[in-house]
Structure 1
Amino acid sequence: MTVEGARGDVLEEQIDQWRGFVTRRRVISAPDVEEMEDHLREQITELESGGLDSEEAFLVAVKRMGGLDAVSREFAREHSHRLWKQLVLVPDAEEETGGSRWRELGVTLLFALGAGLAVKLLEVTVDDGMVVTRNLPFVILPFLAGWFAWKRRAPWRVGAVTAALAAVPALAVNLYPFQESPGPFPLPGMTAVLALTHAPVLLWLLVGVLHTGGRWRSHERRMDFVRFTGELVMYLVLIALGSMVLVGLTVAVLGLADVDITPFFAAWLLPVGVPGSVLVAAWLVEAKKSVVENITPVLAKVFTPLALLMLVADLAALLVNGPLARVDRELLIVMDAVLVLVLFLLLYSISARDPLLRPGVFDWLQLALVGTALAVNAVALTAMLTRIAEFGFTANKTAALGLNLVLLVHLAWSAWLLLGFVRGTRPFAAVERWQTTYLPVYAVWVAVVVLVFPPLFVFA
């Protein structure tokens, strides 16, 4: 690596750490952070052109952004080994102008309308319901990716490469000669099911590249995407519940007047409204970030002990269900789903935690959750290997085995880092960084399932 490249990496790491600190200040909205970072980079470029090296330019640029506030001084006392942390400014709160807010909302609604109409067009032009279902992610998520590319001002090269990568699984699920089960009601084979369920995950991780504005190597940007994913799910659930109530009341009232809106509901509201709600929920996450940040730590603390109790019950069910070779396949599938849910809870809890706080009871509870998940994973892996030794490899068994191995590595190292944190031998930043470092492994695995498994198992 050249000296200039090494300096560039150091500068990016400094900016990432600065961004991570500023992002955790709840008085600063996400758009403000983006604007501050753009301004910081402009200042650095100007100072470097004046003869300063990258580190000097970074320090001066941060200093120019203002003086210290109480939060910055507290942060500097805890991390006094880095000079720039003593210079961070949390500026006076300035709300976005009304014009800017309405402009962003207008663009969001255009993307939402585009997603809804694209789904409706797919539904009208394609008669095969299975073809429509497997292409829904490839129709909806590009609009979300485009919205992020516009909002984050992602370089066009990043957008082009991301689109090219997304085209690969889209072509695979549509062109692979998947086999169907024989009979009067043919069903898709297992490799088709695996491809259809894993392709949206791969596409979602590619959307994350544009969520980072092209800076996908940044750990802070990846953790932002983890937070966004959890918060998006929350808003989608709230929108769905509210829509169900609203539609139910509307149907009831109009039914009394002998007006049936069911055809309109099935023909337009579902195919257009549901995809559009994804864009609206994404806008709400970005616009109302401070509101969600007050809720997420509470949700994490509520669901972590409940998830721990669930895992203990699941572990007992696995151990008392007789010889591991006779454990039901359905039970193993449910265990995988539970482990994935625990992983999401772990990621979301870590993303919602203030890394400057000392270890507490909740951190020990998280360690217990991860340890129990490891035990469940070990028992499930033993059962899978026993079944494979007795009945041989199949596509679904191999996929489940691979997923459990990927989860095993993630959870095992997370447990080790959490243990070091609660014992005071490691900073929480090490736990947080591991989560974002490991995310590309999941992208590689789902890509293997979508692209390699079908031909490997003869598309059966």
Structure 2
Amino acid sequence: MDTEGTVPEAGTGQDVADDPALEAQIGEWVAYMRRRRELSAADADELEDHLRNRIDELTEAGLQPDEAFLIAVKRMGSLDEVSREFAREHSERLWKQLVLAGGGEPAKTGPARKDLLIMIACAAVAAIGVKIPGLFGQTFEHDFGFFARNISLFALVPLAAYFVWRRQVRPAVVGVLALLFVLGAIGANVYPLADDADTTILTGIHLPIALWLVVGVAYAGGDWRSGSRRMDFIRFTGEFFIYYVLIALGGGVLTAFTAGVFNAIGVDAETFLGEWMLPCGAMAAVVVAAWLVEAKQSVIENMAPVLTRVFTPLFAVALLAFLAAIVWTGNGIDIERDVLILFNLVLVAVLGLLLYGISAREPAAPRGWFDRLQFVLVVSALVIDVLVLLAVNTRIAEFGFSANKTAALGENVVLLANLGWSAWLLYGFLWRRAPFARLERWQTGYLVVYAAWAWFVVLAFPPLFDFV
């Protein structure tokens, strides 16, 4: 990238300082660049000089200042492209930023170290918290239902606390977050639920979803009404999932290695690994994965969109093949619990692919083959969702309502509404020239529906179905 431009001499071109509106625009651009972790203050200053130089050249050519600003930014590339270019040209310093010291810049060492210490403290709270029930005689082996209902509380309360500190969330918002976590704890522990009750399993599945969106409010700094903040949280969720899976895989290798070397000297480490290392590590890893996403943001932040590009065609082919097999064989979907879970996971995966495709797309970019492929994927998933709903309704008509079937019915209705309107918005974007931003607003706004349904299952289903 050309960053050799010099600052314009006084008196050449139009002095941008004479235009307050233009200065405000440049100020916003510079503020964004300074938030990029891979760019030092000197880098941001260099880019600002380069931008001003281009603006002066364009205003000398007769353009208005606001037009010159837009064209100058466009010619320099999108902000993410600028950051990626700097990442390539400053790779040595960038990779140093990924370690604890924070790239060797003394001005950033203090805040980076404090952030690290807060993360370690929150991770330690998560690791210790999951062992506190053991002081009262509750263990994973004998009290599965308790841990199934509460495991998300042990992990997500410290994570929310980390974001509350990092985002400097207002006390009023902190109070709301605390009340929501207390409500989750009440829903998980007040009802007389047996370990093998269907509503216990449903609570264990839906409470993490509800509380994860509470964490999202903390991540957004309390500004949950902002569509861009919600989209940032969606991006964070995808990157967090990737980091957590990588940590889990590494933890599995470490566990196997530890068990093997201790067995080699006649020491059985199974109790330590099963009761301490695995549960404590799994809880602490939630905070560590979030910290890694934050620390490495904008350096390698595009893994989720890249995976989306890989798996969207594969999922589209698989769903089309499945629909073709249904037509060819004439067989319907046999709805059993495991099959139903599988289909719901497939539909959630499709929505995830759609979300991360949206998050990585430039709204003003022209329509392309990938947009049409996403439309095929969404329509295929929509047809499958309709088939699943028909099968669930048939099952309910035959055997009556139960907690599992009702939850399946509700979840598929929620997914149907999202997929249906997403397909319509994609159709409008591809063939009716509707703006792409409508689809992004729909997806980020729909997070509230997921949260409402998850809370309803946690709080209302146990009494509705007599705690069974």
Normalised to the residue count of structure 2, the TM-score between the two structures is 0.76
Does residue 305 (structure 1) correspond to residue 313 (structure 2)? The answer is yes
Quote the offset at 1:356 in angstroms.
3.5
Where in structure 2 are there 5+ consecutive unaligned residues? Answer: 1-23, 42-46, 59-63, 87-102
Relative to structure 1, is the Cα distance of residues 431 and 19 closer, same or farther in structure 2, using a 3 angstrom cutoff? farther
Matches within 5 A, 1:65-214: 69=51, 86=70, 97-127=108-138, 128-178=143-193, 180=194, 188-214=196-222
Matched with 2:36 is 29
Instruction: Give the stretch that moved more between structures: 403-412 or 380-389.
Output: 380-389
RMSD over aligned CA atoms reads 3.5
Paired residues, number? 400
Relative to structure 1, is the Cα distance of residues 252 and 392 closer, same or farther in structure 2, using a 3 angstrom cutoff? closer
Q: In structure 1, how many angstroms separate the alpha carbons of the residues matched to 2:206 and 2:390?
A: 24
Does residue 266 (structure 1) correspond to residue 274 (structure 2)? The answer is yes
For 1:7-26, what per-residue CA distance to the aligned partner results, in whole angstroms no more than 9, with x for missing partners?
Answer: xxxxxxxx9xx989987x7x
Instruction: Give the stretch that moved more between structures: 102-111 or 379-388.
Output: 379-388
Quote the offset at 1:154 in angstroms.
0.6
Task: Give the conservation status (yes or no) of the 8 Å contact 2:333–2:388.
Answer: no
Where in structure 1 are there 5+ consecutive unaligned residues? Answer: 1-14, 36-64, 181-186
Matches within 5 A, 1:364-443: 364-423=372-431, 425-443=433-451
Question: What amino acid is aligned across from residue 113 of structure 2 in structure 1?
Answer: W
Question: What amino acid is aligned across from residue 140 of structure 1 in structure 2?
Answer: A
Task: Give the conservation status (yes or no) of the 8 Å contact 1:108–1:283.
Answer: yes
Relative to structure 1, is the Cα distance of residues 439 and 248 closer, same or farther in structure 2, using a 3 angstrom cutoff? same
Task: Give the conservation status (yes or no) of the 8 Å contact 2:127–2:280.
Answer: yes
Task: Give the conservation status (yes or no) of the 8 Å contact 2:145–2:196.
Answer: no
Q: In structure 2, how many angstroms separate the alpha carbons of the residues matched to 1:81 and 1:320?
A: 63
Task: Give the conservation status (yes or no) of the 8 Å contact 1:318–1:379.
Answer: no
Quote the offset at 1:365 in angstroms.
0.8
Question: What amino acid is aligned across from residue 332 of structure 1 in structure 2?
Answer: L
Relative to structure 1, is the Cα distance of residues 382 and 129 closer, same or farther in structure 2, using a 3 angstrom cutoff? closer
> Among 333, 336, 340, which residue is 2:344 paired with?
336
For 1:15-73, what per-residue CA distance to the aligned partner results, in whole angstroms no more than 9, with x for missing partners?
Answer: 9xx989987x7x9536999x9xxxxxxxxxxxxxxxxxxxxxxxxxxxxx967739x98
Residue 446 of structure 2 aligns to a residue whose secondary structure is: helix
Question: What amino acid is aligned across from residue 160 of structure 2 in structure 1?
Answer: A
Question: What amino acid is aligned across from residue 205 of structure 2 in structure 1?
Answer: T
Q: In structure 1, how many angstroms separate the alpha carbons of the residues matched to 2:423 and 2:364?
A: 19
Q: In structure 2, how many angstroms separate the alpha carbons of the residues matched to 1:81 and 1:329?
A: 62
Q: In structure 1, how many angstroms separate the alpha carbons of the residues matched to 2:366 and 2:436?
A: 9
Q: In structure 2, how many angstroms separate the alpha carbons of the residues matched to 1:444 and 1:163?
A: 17
Matches within 5 A, 1:44-59: none
Q: In structure 2, how many angstroms separate the alpha carbons of the residues matched to 1:265 and 1:392?
A: 44
Q: In structure 2, how many angstroms separate the alpha carbons of the residues matched to 1:279 and 1:326?
A: 40
Identity rate of aligned residues, in percent? Answer: 44
Residue 300 of structure 2 aligns to a residue whose secondary structure is: helix
Task: Give the conservation status (yes or no) of the 8 Å contact 1:324–1:382.
Answer: no
Task: Give the conservation status (yes or no) of the 8 Å contact 2:230–2:444.
Answer: yes
Q: In structure 1, how many angstroms separate the alpha carbons of the residues matched to 2:68 and 2:450?
A: 35
Task: Give the conservation status (yes or no) of the 8 Å contact 1:209–1:215.
Answer: yes
Does residue 355 (structure 1) correspond to residue 363 (structure 2)? The answer is yes
For 1:211-240, what per-residue CA distance to the aligned partner results, in whole angstroms no more than 9, with x for missing partners?
Answer: 100000000100111111111110011111
Instruction: Give the stretch that moved more between structures: 134-143 or 418-427.
Output: 418-427
Residue 301 of structure 1 aligns to a residue whose secondary structure is: helix
Relative to structure 1, is the Cα distance of residues 344 and 81 closer, same or farther in structure 2, using a 3 angstrom cutoff? farther
Q: In structure 1, how many angstroms separate the alpha carbons of the residues matched to 2:37 and 2:326?
A: 44
Quote the offset at 1:122 in angstroms.
2.2
